[in-house]
C-alpha cells in the first residue's frame, strides 16, 4: 500500500464504541403485547425498534425488520435511526447475505432477493422461510412442491434446486450453523413439532429436542454452541435454548415471544465508511448548440467510522487500473477488498486525471420509476478538497487527508489513490464538466432526478440505505425552451413521491 493510504488509515479512522461484551439475543413480541423487537439485557427485555421478524446484519450493526401497516422490509440501526424501506410488503422472514450487500425474504409464497440499497429486487423460487448460507452461495427454504413441506436449497443467483429433506412429516424454518456444516429445522415427523439437525457431510438428520412442546424458529448462536427456539408452553410462546450437541434445554425469555435471533459479535470490527448521498442542488437549464442540459451539483458525504480509501494499480500494458479498497480494523490492522471497481484516465478540460468509474450516477426518472435519461459522466476523482459534510458527525476528523488530484496530467501512471475522510464531502459543482443530463427531447411533466453513489455496491460500507437522494421537479417548455422548478427534496430516497 502507498504511503498516503497508511497515513489516512492512521489518522482518519477511529475506534467505534465498545463491542458487545457478551452475545445478545433478540426476539419479537406480538402487537397485542407491546409489539416490536426486544433485546435481552441483564436478563430483562429492552425494546429496540418497532417491527417483527428481526434479523441482524453480519456485523451486528443493523437490523432488518418487517414493520409498518404494509408489512414492508425495513433496515434500521439498533437505536432506530437511519431507517429505510427496502421492499414493499407484505413480506416475512428476512435474512442477510454474508457480505451484507443483499437480503432475502418471502412474499406471497415466493422467495425474493434485493440489494441492500433497495434496488434490483428479483424473484428466486417458490417457497417460504428463506435462510442464507454462511458461504453466500445458497439459500435454504421450504416448499411443498412434492406434496409435503420439505427443505430445499437454491443458488443465491438462481437455479440449482436441491432437496435436502424428504421425511414423512412437514419441515419448516431452516437455519444454517455458523460454519455451514449443519442445518437446524422444525419437523413434525414424530407427531409434535421439534427441532431437528441435518449434517451435510453424512446427509443424515437427527432430532435435537424431545420435550413435547411445539417448537419453531431455531436460531444458532454466533459461536455455534447453542440453538434458540420458540417453545409453546402453558404460559405461552417462550424462547428456549438448547446445546447444539444435545442436552437439557433452558428457558431464555418468557412469553409472548417469537422469531429469536442472536446478535453477531465480531471480535474485530471493521471501521467502514458510510457514503451519504446528498440531494441534487443548484439545478439549472443551459443551452449548448441547440441542445439543452439540466445541470446540477452532486455531493457524497462520508459519515462513517473510517475513511473511504480506494487505490488502483495496473501493468503498463493495461488501459485501466483495478481498484482495491482498504479498511481499518478496530485492532489497528487493515483489510483489503480487491475488485471494487476500475480507474480510468479521463482526457478533458476539467478532468484530466484518473477517475473511479461508476462511483456515482445520475438519472432522470418518470413518476413510475422508469428511466428517461442517464448521465454520460465516466467517473470521479475522490478527495477531501471539495467541502465539509454538514451536521453532527461523531467521528469527524479535523483536517483533510486526501488532498491530491488523482494523478493530474499523468496518464502513464501505474498507481493511483483517492478517498474521503470522515466528515468530508466529495462535491462536484454544477459548473464542472459532466454534471448534467440531456433533456433536449424530454417532454413537459413531473420527473424525479436521482443521484446515487456506490451504484454497484462494490465498495464496502457501514450501510447502503442512504446511497441515493433525489428531487422531484416540474419540467415546463414555454415556447419550446425547457425550464425546471423543484417541487420536493428527498434526502434519503430515490422515489421522492
pLDDT tens-digit profile of 276-305?
A: 999 999 999 999 999 999 999 999 999 999
- pTM above the 0.85 mark? yes
pLDDT computed for residue 1 by the predictor: 39
Q: Is 372 within a domain?
A: yes
- Does 479 share its domain with 437? yes
- Residue 412 lies in domain: 271-490
207 and 356 share a domain? no
H helix or E strand, kind and range, residue 415: strand 415-420
DSSP string covering 114-164? EETTS---EEEEE-EEEEE-TTSSEEEEEE-TTSS-EEEEEETTS---EE-
Q: With 0-12 CB in 10 A as exposed, 13-18 as middle and 19+ as buried, what is 217?
A: buried
Q: Is 57 helix (H, G, I), strand (E, B) or coil?
A: coil
Judge whether residue 167 has pLDDT over 80.
Answer: no
Strand partners, 69: none
Among 76-85, 170-179, 188-197, 382-391, the range of highest mean pLDDT: 170-179
- Say if residue 436 is in the same domain as residue 380: yes
Compare 473 and 20 and report the one with higher pLDDT.
Answer: 473
Residue carrying the nine cell digits 460500507: 461
Q: Which residues contact 69 (CB under 8 A, 6 or more apart)?
A: none
Residues 388 and 286 in one domain: yes
**CA separation for the pair 151, 185 (Å, rounded):** 8
The count of structural domains within the chain is: 2
How many whole angstroms separate alpha carbon 129 and alpha carbon 187?
14
- Do 143 and 258 lie in one domain? The reply is yes
Residues 260 and 115 in one domain: yes
Q: Do 192 and 296 share a structural domain?
A: no
Q: Are residues 304 and 226 in the same domain?
A: no
Please tell me whether residues 252 and 331 are part of one structural domain: no
In 177-318, the DSSP E strands lie at 182-187, 194-199, 204-207, 214-220, 226-233, 236-243, 250-253, 258-263, 270-271, 275-277, 281-288, 291-302, 308-313
Residue 439 placed within a domain: yes
Domain boundary among 215, 234, 264: 264
Examine the fold and report which residue of 209, 233, 264 is the final residue of a domain before the chain moves on.
Answer: 264
Residue 4 domain-assigned (yes or no): no
Residue 252 and residue 290 in one domain = no
**Cα 481 from Cα 332, distance rounded (Å):** 57
Does residue 6 belong to any structural domain of this protein? Answer: no
- Bridge partners (DSSP) of residue 132 are 139
Residue position matching grid coordinates 439485557: 41
Q: Does 496 reside within a domain?
A: no
* Whole-number pLDDT of residue 386: 77
Query: Do residue 215 and residue 281 come from a single domain?
Result: no
Cα-Cα end-to-end distance for the chain: 45
282 and 346 fall within a common domain: yes
pLDDT classification of 23: cutoffs 50, 70, 90: low
What whole-number distance in Å separates Cα of residue 420 and Cα of residue 414? 21
Taking residues 432-446, report their average pLDDT: 94
φ/ψ of residue 31, rounded to 5? -60, -35
User: Can you read off the three cell numbers belonging to residue 104?
Assistant: 432475502
pLDDT of residue 113: 98
pLDDT band (50, 70, 90) for residue 17: very low
Angle at 417 between CA 414 and CA 422, to 5 degrees: 175
Q: Identify the three-state secondary structure at position 31.
A: helix
| CB 143 within 8 Å of CB 109 | no
Least confidently predicted of 84-88, 147-151, 345-349, 394-398: 345-349
Amino acid at each position: 500500500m502507498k504511503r498516503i493510504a497508511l497515513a489516512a488509515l492512521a489518522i482518519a479512522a477511529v475506534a467505534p464504541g465498545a463491542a458487545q461484551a457478551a452475545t445478545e439475543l433478540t426476539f419479537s413480541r406480538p402487537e397485542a403485547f407491546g409489539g416490536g423487537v426486544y433485546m435481552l439485557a441483564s436478563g430483562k427485555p429492552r425494546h429496540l425498534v418497532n417491527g417483527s421478524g428481526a434479523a441482524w446484519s453480519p456485523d451486528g450493526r443493523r437490523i432488518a425488520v418487517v414493520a409498518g401497516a404494509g408489512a414492508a422490509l425495513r433496515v434500521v440501526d439498533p437505536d432506530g435511526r437511519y431507517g429505510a424501506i427496502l421492499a414493499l410488503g407484505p413480506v416475512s422472514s428476512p435474512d442477510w447475505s454474508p457480505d451484507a450487500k443483499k437480503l432475502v425474504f418471502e412474499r406471497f409464497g415466493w422467495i425474493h432477493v434485493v440489494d441492500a440499497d433497495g434496488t434490483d429486487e428479483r424473484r428466486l423460487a417458490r417457497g417460504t422461510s428463506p435462510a442464507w448460507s454462511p458461504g453466500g452461495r445458497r439459500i435454504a427454504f421450504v416448499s411443498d412442491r412434492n406434496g409435503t413441506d420439505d427443505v430445499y436449497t437454491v443458488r443465491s443467483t438462481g437455479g440449482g434446486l436441491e432437496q435436502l429433506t424428504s421425511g414423512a412429516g412437514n419441515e419448516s424454518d431452516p437455519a444454517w450453523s455458523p460454519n455451514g456444516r449443519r442445518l437446524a429445522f422444525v419437523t413434525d415427523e414424530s407427531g409434535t413439532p421439534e427441532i431437528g439437525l441435518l449434517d451435510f457431510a453424512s446427509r443424515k438428520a437427527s432430532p435435537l429436542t424431545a420435550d413435547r412442546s411445539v417448537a419453531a424458529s431455531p436460531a444458532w448462536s454466533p459461536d455455534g454452541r447453542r440453538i434458540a427456539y420458540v417453545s409453546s408452553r402453558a404460559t405461552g410462546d417462550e424462547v428456549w435454548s438448547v446445546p447444539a450437541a444435545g442436552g437439557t434445554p433452558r428457558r431464555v425469555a418468557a412469553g409472548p415471544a417469537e422469531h429469536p435471533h442472536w446478535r453477531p459479535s465480531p471480535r474485530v470490527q471493521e471501521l467502514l465508511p458510510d457514503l451519504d448521498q446528498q440531494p441534487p442542488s443548484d439545478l439549472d437549464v443551459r443551452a449548448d448548440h441547440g441542445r439543452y442540459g439540466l445541470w446540477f451539483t452532486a455531493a457524497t458525504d462520508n459519515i462513517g467510522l473510517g475513511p473511504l480509501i480506494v487505490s488502483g494499480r495496473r501493468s503498463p500494458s493495461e488501459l485501466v487500473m483495478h481498484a482495491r479498497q482498504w479498511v481499518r480494523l478496530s485492532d489497528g490492522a487493515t483489510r483489503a477488498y480487491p475488485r471494487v471497481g476500475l480507474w480510468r484516465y479521463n482526457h478533458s478540460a476539467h478532468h484530466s486525471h484518473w477517475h473511479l468509474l461508476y462511483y456515482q450516477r445520475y438519472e432522470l426518472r418518470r413518476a413510475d420509476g422508469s428511466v428517461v435519461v442517464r448521465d454520460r459522466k465516466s467517473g470521479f476523482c475522490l478527495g477531501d478538497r471539495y467541502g465539509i459534510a454538514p451536521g453532527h458527525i461523531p467521528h469527524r476528523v479535523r483536517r483533510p487527508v486526501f488532498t491530491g488530484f488523482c494523478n493530474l496530467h499523468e496518464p502513464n501512471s501505474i498507481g493511483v489513490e483517492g478517498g474521503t475522510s470522515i466528515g468530508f464531502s466529495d462535491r462536484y459543482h454544477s459548473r464542472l464538466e459532466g454534471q448534467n443530463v440531456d433533456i433536449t427531447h424530454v417532454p413537459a411533466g413531473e420527473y424525479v432526478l436521482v443521484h446515487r453513489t456506490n451504484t454497484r455496491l462494490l465498495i464496502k460500507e457501514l450501510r447502503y440505505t442512504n446511497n441515493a437522494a433525489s428531487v422531484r421537479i416540474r419540467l415546463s417548455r414555454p415556447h419550446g425552451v425547457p425550464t425546471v422548478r423543484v417541487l420536493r427534496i428527498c434526502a434519503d430516497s430515490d422515489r421522492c413521491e
